Amino acid sequence: MLIVIIAFFVLLVIGMPVAFAIGISGALFFIQYPELPFTIPVQVTVSQTQNFSLLAIPLFIMAGNFLNHSGITEQLLKLASVLTGRLKGGLAQVSLALSALMGGVSGSAIADAAMQSRMLGEPMMKRGFSSGFTAGILSFGSVLTPLIPPGIGMILYGSIGQVSIGRMFAAGIIPALMLWLALAIAVWITAHMRGYQPERQTRPSLGELGGALRAGFWAMLFPVMLLFGLRAGVFTPSEIGAFAVIYAVFVGALIYRRLRTRNFIDALEGSLGDIGAVMFLIAVSAILTYGIVLERVPETLANWIIGLTDDISVIMVMIAVGVVVAGLVIDATVLIIMLTPIFLPLIRSLDGDPVHFGVVFILAATIGNFTPPIGAAMFAVCSVLKTRVSDYTRESVPFIIAVVAVTILLVFVPQAALWLPNMFFG
Amino acid sequence: MRKIYQGFLRIEAVLAGVFLLLMVVMMFTGGVARLMRMPLNWTIDIATWSFAWSVFLCADIAWRKDLLMSVDIVAERFAPPVQRALTFVNYILIAGFLIYLAYSGIHLSWVSRARPFQGIPWASYSWVTLSLPVGAMIMLVTTWLKFKAFLAGPSAPAEL
Amino acid sequence: QAQDTYTLRFNHVLGPSEPFHEGFLAWAEAVSERTGGGLTIEVFPSAQLGVEEDIIEQIRQGANIGQNTDAARLGTYVPQIAVVNAPYFVDSNEEAFALADSPSMIAWQQQLADEHGLKVVCFDWVQGDRHFFTNSEVRTPDDLAGLRIRTPPAPIWQESIRALGAAPTAMNFGDVYPGLQQMAIDGAELVYPNITAGNLYEVLDYAIETAHIKLVNFQVVSSQWFNGLPEDYQTALVEECRVAGQETSAVMAEAAQAAKQTLIDEGMTIIDDLDLAPFREAGMAAYEALGLTEARAQVYAEIGKD
Ligand code: NA
Ligand code: NA
């Protein structure tokens, strides 16, 4: 496995597309194990496309493209500009709020981030935000996605680790709000330092507000219906993705009368490249994951950690760091499935709280997907926004500081996670 | 030749788009049907089948349009001749990998043809598996054209 | 002479806290001990090595990999084996264990090995009785009409559930919790310990003890790999598989009782005084639909069941 990991980094350094670097280094593993069928890399790659929870990703990417061409995004942003236009970095704050509100709808941080980049990226850049900053805020806004019920990660963690899923849902809420606040502060500080000007100087008149609200009705209904469909509702995340596409086409064609054959095709064509870039990377990552599991790398890591210390907080920090590193290439969902059975017993044996650990663990797994220099979700955002990883890296420093600070706070203040579930469930 | 290739690219884009729309329609229909207490299991089958084919067709489109991400921080600091040598190595390795995917994908599709898709006796899973080797072969063509453009020099645009 | 050592990587989809995982570890230990470390089994829970169908294909290509599977999936290769997964096929663990001596079962396993490369090591692993778990009260097959019941995505399974009256809805186990919470489905058919393992009592109201399928699991490895083992290793692998399986089946029966008590404590309503006769009768339609009537008669004659 060491050869594989070295090969992976060498290929990255020579500038090979990440998807190929993952596939080629992952395939090297099978040369070391000649008794394994040489067809396994193909099989596991194809298998990713039969995974029901990954099906949500292309659907939400399409939804993002169709929302833009239908006029829904534009109306939503007009309304936002009327409401928050006097704030410095107002649109960035709006994007953050949308991330927080619509987070969890797709059940995947990658799908959320890709959809929102498609929706909000261009308008933000048009208003003078750099592409690196835009990519950073849209990415890290999605970090709180899995903590908002009903995050798929929480359900998986609860099912695999036999932890009450209801408790997990309740435990995610306050940390999600803390993350939101921390990111909002980071945006505010950056906006002041950069001197991002407010979009407007005057308070909106009532008439202006009313007009924006009326015009934006169908656009506002969209996030509301998404939330209703999932939380009170009847649809699985993938179905909601499909519903979002159909809603965008319906509103764009019949109500805003913006969507015509020409931009319908544009929306679809734009989706092809986005989906290819995101899904090919996720599909081939299974090749690398196979070797990691077969050689029991996580178990080795867990044993090594126990050997070093028995302080529960230190162990949680070490696990979180390890998980962020693993998040370089492995999707958060896959990490949760893979690592819960390994780390949770460790935490239990040290009398740690499984709910508290779960929140930290799920958060760390998601952060890893977004942190430079590598991260499946980061690549999705950068590829949609055509942002260079170096720009992304530079501009996301304040957001990384914000989420890392909250994660560390969560490790040492378990009550932030446990207060709500203890109040609800005793 | 160029005309044939352009026509081929159109077919590829149309097929990928159709598969994506099929996923949307199937997932939506499945959700609505279940809501109306008439669950349809085949909607998921068609959606996942389309998923596989759309992913690997779209992968080629992304590769051709240079949308596949790479980590640029280190590579761009090398001297231009070194960068050129590294790009050369990249294309060779990628082509090798794609040939391997195409070969072992076709092999797997053949030896596991008895495996049913979603347990449906008459539908072989090989029709799903084939999506990867087919995608890999198209990507190999794209790689070849990129490589030719690269050899022709930095000023020559790729005939993509 | 230096002994060759062998490794089997054994994959299963159940969680590490389920009794089956303990059972596989016990099997691994017994085999390793008996072969003096010559044959080791590494157990991978939670489908870590991959989804069941992928693993079965890897096994067919001769990999040193094993998988815990069921008769419905094996039935896609040798159709008659699926009879074990049909409604009300066996009534007790002892009857399930006795199937190993049925000449028809032996012949079908031979066919599976010769024609498809899948060697059944043993199938003495009874997960237990599958019941319906729903959010509305069910007393007769008619009450199941129109209920969207999650079943594993296999047509054989779906036919059985349809025969009993419900509308089978294919879904992965991991989607069951959100599916129930979001009312995408009205219930599931599972064994008791699945409900506690998946915290499904948080989103379910009724346990309906229909016992419509006694779920028997099969341990399969590559026949090519198995045939390459020394004979005494083969014997050790099979015999210890049976011992561990039968012990685990007993543990599962106890686990079902414990899980049932947990569900009562969590406020679920248990319906365990059903008249099963109409369910059994309805279940017979599945044998017809699946063309398994003859296979059933054949095995019943061999194990002396009517
Ligand atoms: Na976001
Ligand atoms: Na990362």
Tokens of B81: 């001749």
Count the domains in chain B.
1
Model-level pTM greater than 0.80? yes
pLDDT at A81: 77
In angstroms, the CA A406 to CA A393 distance is 19
Q: What is the pLDDT of residues B38-77, one digit of tens each?
A: 888 789 889 999 999 999 999 999 999 998 888 777 777 8
A351 touches chain C (CB under 8 A): no
In angstroms, the CA C250 to CA C244 distance is 10
In a domain, A45, yes or no: no
For residue A12, what are the domain limits?
1-38
A140: amino acid identity, one letter: F
Q: Are residues A188 and A96 in the same domain?
A: yes
CA of A140 to the centre of ligand 2 (A): 12
pLDDT at B118: 80
In angstroms, the CA A333 to CA A399 distance is 22
In angstroms, the CA B31 to CA B128 distance is 23
With H, G, I as helix, E, B as strand and everything else as coil, classify residue B123.
strand
Q: Are residues A213 and A316 in the same domain?
A: yes
Mean of pLDDT over chain A: 86
pLDDT at C2: 47
Count the domains in chain A.
2
pLDDT at A418: 95
Computed over its alpha carbons, how large is the radius of gyration of chain B?
A: 20
A53 touches chain B (CB under 8 A): no
Q: Are residues A168 and A291 in the same domain?
A: yes
A46 touches chain B (CB under 8 A): yes
In angstroms, the CA A322 to CA A319 distance is 5
B117 touches chain C (CB under 8 A): no
**Minimal CA–CA distance to A289: which of A48, A18, A114, A52?**
A48
Q: Are residues A217 and A313 in the same domain?
A: yes
- The bridge status of strand C6-11 relative to strand B116-117 is unpaired
Residue with tokens 């924006």: A212
pLDDT for B35 beyond 90: no
- The bridge status of strand C167-170 relative to strand C39-44 is unpaired
In a domain, A47, yes or no: no
In a domain, A212, yes or no: yes
Q: What is the pLDDT of residues C34-68, one digit of tens each?
A: 999 999 999 998 888 988 999 999 999 999 999 99
pLDDT at B157: 55
Tokens of B126: 């090989």
In angstroms, the CA A319 to CA C46 distance is 20
In a domain, B51, yes or no: yes
In a domain, A388, yes or no: yes
Question: Chain A residues with CB inside 8 Å of B74's CB?
Answer: 12-13, 15
Q: What is the pLDDT of residues A376-399, one digit of tens each?
A: 788 889 988 989 888 999 999 999
Phi, then psi, of A391 in degrees rounded to 5: -65, -45
**Other beta carbons less than 10 A from residue C267's beta carbon:** 8
Q: Are residues A68 and A152 in the same domain?
A: yes
In a domain, A43, yes or no: no
Please tell me the number of Cα atoms within 13 Å of A166 on its side-chain side. Answer: 12
In a domain, B159, yes or no: no
**Minimal CA–CA distance to B106: which of B128, B135, B133?**
B133
In a domain, B16, yes or no: yes
- Shortest CB distance from C172 goes to which of A52, A165, A290? A52
pLDDT at B159: 52
Inter-residue contact A364 to A407 (CB < 8 Å): yes
Helices A72-84 and A56-70, axial angle in degrees (round to 10): 70
Inter-residue contact A341 to C14 (CB < 8 Å): no
Question: Chain B residues with CB inside 8 Å of A20's CB?
Answer: 68, 90, 93-94, 97
pLDDT for A83 beyond 90: no
Question: What whole-number percentage of chain B has pLDDT above 70?
Answer: 96
**Minimal CA–CA distance to C189: which of B73, C181, C180, A81?**
C180
Q: Are residues A300 and A348 in the same domain?
A: yes
How would you class A224 by CB atoms within 10 Å of its CB: exposed for 0-12, middle for 13-18, buried for 19 or more?
exposed
pLDDT for A320 beyond 80: yes
Confidence at A232, pLDDT banded by 50, 70, 90: low
**Would residue C223 be called left, alpha or beta, if left means φ above 0 and alpha means ψ between -120 and 50 degrees?**
alpha
Q: Are residues A234 and A349 in the same domain?
A: yes
- The bridge status of strand C118-134 relative to strand C167-170 is unpaired
pLDDT for B153 beyond 80: no
Question: Chain C residues with CB inside 8 Å of B111's CB?
Answer: 60-61
For residue B44, what are the domain limits?
2-152
pLDDT at B155: 57
Question: Chain B residues with CB inside 8 Å of A388's CB?
Answer: 72
CA A274, A277, A280, A285 torsion-angle sign: negative
In angstroms, the CA A232 to CA A398 distance is 35
pLDDT at C150: 93
Q: Are residues A102 and A17 in the same domain?
A: no
Expressed in angstroms, the distance from the first to the final Cα of chain B is 12
Q: Are residues A83 and A118 in the same domain?
A: yes
pLDDT for A100 beyond 90: no
Q: Spell out, as residue ranges, where chain C has pLDDT lower than 50.
A: 1-2
Choose the mutation target among B14, B43, B71 for the interface with A, i.e. most A CBs under 10 Å.
B71
pLDDT at A103: 60
Mean pLDDT calculated for residue range A33-42: 93
CA A120, A126, A129, A132 torsion-angle sign: positive
In a domain, B158, yes or no: no
pLDDT at B150: 93
In a domain, A46, yes or no: no
In angstroms, the CA A208 to CA A206 distance is 5
Choose the mutation target among A4, A8, A25, A49 for the interface with B, i.e. most B CBs under 10 Å.
A49
Inter-residue contact C70 to C216 (CB < 8 Å): yes
pLDDT at A374: 77
**Residues with Cβ < 8 Å from C254, sequence gap 6 or more?**
none
Question: Chain C residues with CB inside 8 Å of A54's CB?
Answer: none
pLDDT at C1: 43
ipTM of the predicted structure? 0.90
- Shortest CB distance from B52 goes to which of A13, A49, A234? A49
In angstroms, the CA C67 to CA A3 distance is 29
In a domain, B160, yes or no: no
* Helical segments of A14-163, H only: 18-32, 40-48, 56-70, 72-84, 90-102, 109-126, 131-141, 152-161
Residue-wise DSSP of chain C: -PPP-EEEEEE-SS-TTSHHHHHHHHHHHHHHHHTTTSEEEEEE-TTTT--HHHHHHHHHTT-SEEEEEEHHHHTTTSGGGGGGGSTT--SSHHHHHHGGG-HHHHHHHHHHHHHH-EEEEEEEEEEEEEEEEESS---SGGGGTT-EEEE-S-HHHHHHHHHTT-EEEE--GGGHHHHHHTTS-SEEEE-HHHHHHTTGGGG--EEEEEEEEEEEEEEEEEHHHHHTS-HHHHHHHHHHHHHHHHHHHHHHHHHHHHHHHHHHHTTPEEE-----HHHHHHHHHHHHHHT-HHHHHHHHHHHT--
Asked if B55 lies within 8 A of A18 by C-beta distance, the reply is no
In angstroms, the CA A276 to CA A17 distance is 13
In a domain, B40, yes or no: yes
- Lowest-confidence pick of A5-19, A65-79, A133-147, A392-406: A65-79
Q: Are residues A24 and A123 in the same domain?
A: no
Q: Are residues A29 and A158 in the same domain?
A: no
Question: Chain B residues with CB inside 8 Å of A41's CB?
Answer: 101, 104
Tokens of A326: 């693993």
Q: Are residues A23 and A69 in the same domain?
A: no
Inter-residue contact A321 to A367 (CB < 8 Å): no
- Those residues of chain C whose CB sits closer than 8 Å to some CB in chain A are 9, 15-17, 42, 44-51, 54, 57-58, 61-64, 172, 174-175, 177-179, 181-184, 196-199, 202
Ligand nearest to the CA of A325: 2
B115 touches chain C (CB under 8 A): yes
In a domain, B63, yes or no: yes
pLDDT for A425 beyond 90: no
